[in-house]
Homo-oligomer: A and B are copies of this chain.
Amino acid sequence: MTARAHVLANGLTVAVQPMAGVETMAVGLYADVGARSEPGGLSGLAHMVEHMLFKGAGSRDAKAIAEDIEDVGGSLNAWTARDHTVFHARMLAGDMALGVEMIADLVRAPHLDADELVREKDVVLAELGEARDTPDDIIFDQLQAAAFTDQPLGQAVLGDEASIAAIDVDALRAWTATQYRPAGLVLAAAGKVDEAALLKLAEARFGDMAAASPPPPASARFIGGRHHDKRRFDQLHVALAHPGTGHGDPAHHALSLFASAAGGGMSSRLFQQVREARGLAYSIYAWTQAYADTGLFGVYCAASRAQAGEALALTRAILDETAEGLTDAELARAKVQAKAGLLMGLEGVGASCDHLARQLQIHGRIVPPAETVASIEAVSLDQARAAGQAALAGGEALATIGGKLAKAA
C-alpha cells in the first residue's frame, strides 16, 4: 500500500503509510532537531526537554498523561538523538485522535514547572549513571566526542553533571519556542490509519502554528583522536570510527554495503575471522551513522584484556584488506541483505512509521522502495571499495573502556 505525504500551509508535513492486516497504528511527531542544536554549556537540553514535556502538558499532569494513554491500552514514548527528537504513540486504530492530541499538547503546551525540573534532573542523572554502568552504551558517547572533538555533534545526548545542573526553565522554554517549528516537523502515521481523519487532526492541532523553520545546526568536521575510560571491566571494550557519509552523499549506499561486507552479519569478514576463526571476541560488528552533513563508519568489539590488542590489530587489517579486496560475491551478498532488510523493516507498524518520517526528514520526500533498491543495485565494486578506502584514509577515532590495550595498538 502506497505511502503519501501532505504539507500544511505552515510547512508541517503529514504522512501516512497504510498497512493491510493490522488493527493497530503508530503515530509520531518527528522534530528535525536534537542534541547537536544545543547552545554551548547546555549539553543535555534537548533530552531534558523531552523528559520535562511528560511532567505535564495541556490539561494533564504527569499522572494523567500516563493514565489517559494507558487507559486505552496505548503507550506514549519519546527519544532524543543528535539530529532529531521523536514523540511517539502506539495504540489501537480507533484511538488515533487521543494520540495526536496528546503529542500536540506535549510539544505545544508543556507546563515546564520549575519544581518538576529539580526532580527530573535526579531522574536524568540516574539515567546517566545507568548509561555509564553499560560500557557498550557509554563507549559510543566517548567515541563521538573523540570523532567530533569540541563540537556540538561530539556532545552526549544525556549531557553531564555540570551541563544538566545549568539547565533552567528559561532554557527549556527557549528550546520549545525556537526548535519545534512547522517546517522542521513531520507528523507520520502507519498501520490502520484513516488518512482523511489524520489530516483533519493535524490541521486542528498543528495548523495554527506560525510558519517557521528551526535554526540550522552548526556544521561538523571529523577530528579523531583517542578517549580512554580508565574504569576496569571484565572485558576491554573497543570502538573505532572513521569519517563516513552524510545523508545526501552519493557514496552513502556504497559505504553501507562496504560496512555490511566488512562486519554486518555472521558471514562478514570481521565475524568470520575475529570470532569464528580465532575466538577473540563475542561481539564484533561494523556500523555506519549518517547525519545531514557528515557521518561515521565504525567497528565495536569487546574482548578479554589479554586479547583486545590483537583483536584491534586484526580488525584494522581486515578493514584495510576489505577496502582493497572486496569481492563481487561479498558485494552481491551485502546487496541482497540490504534489500531483504528493507522489506522486513517495512512490515512492522512502528518501524514503518519511523522509516516514513525519517525519509521525509532526510530526503524531503517519500522514496519508493523500488528507488532505494535501484540505488543499492547500482553500487559497483569499485564504488564500494572506494567508499571504504575513503573512510579509512580520513583519520581514526578510538575509544576504549575496561583496561589498557596490551599491545601498541
Contact of A71 with B333 in the complex, beta carbons under 8 Å: yes
A128 CB contacts on chain B under 8 angstroms: 234
| A292-324 interface code vs B (CB 8 A; 1 in, 0 out) | 000000000011100000000000000000000
The verdict on A24 contacting B134 (CB below 8 Å), with A265-B75, A282-B126 known, is: no
A67 to chain B, nearest CB (A): 5
Measured between beta carbons, the chain B residues less than 8 angstroms from A70 are 265-267, 333, 336-337
In the complex, whether A34 has a CB less than 8 A from a CB of chain B is no
Closest-CB distance, A176 to chain B (whole angstroms): 20
Residue from B91, B340, B348 in contact with A73 in the complex, judged by beta carbons closer than 8 Å: B340
Question: In the assembly, what is the distance between CA of A23 and CA of B272, in Å?
Answer: 30
CA distance A326 to B55 in the complex (A): 24
Which residues of A, 1-52, contact B by the 8 Å Cβ criterion?
A: 1, 19-24
A74–B73 Cα distance when bound, in Å, is: 33
Chain B residue contacts of A134, Cβ below 8 A: 133-136
How far apart are A129's CB and chain B's nearest CB, in angstroms?
4
The reply to whether B336 and A276 contact each other, CB–CB distance below 8 Å, is no
- The chain B residue sitting closest to A61, CB to CB, is B276
A interface residues (Cβ-Cβ under 8 A, vs B): 1, 19-24, 54-55, 62-63, 65-67, 69-76, 90-92, 118-130, 132-136, 233-235, 237, 265-267, 271-272, 275-283, 302-304, 332-333, 336-337, 339-341, 343-344, 347-349, 402
Q: List 28 A-B contacts (CB under 8 A).
A: A23-B343, A23-B347, A24-B347, A55-B276, A62-B276, A66-B272, A70-B333, A71-B332, A72-B336, A73-B337, A73-B340, A74-B340, A75-B265, A119-B278, A119-B279, A120-B279, A122-B280, A126-B235, A126-B304, A128-B234, A129-B234, A130-B136, A130-B235, A130-B283, A132-B234, A133-B135, A133-B233, A134-B136
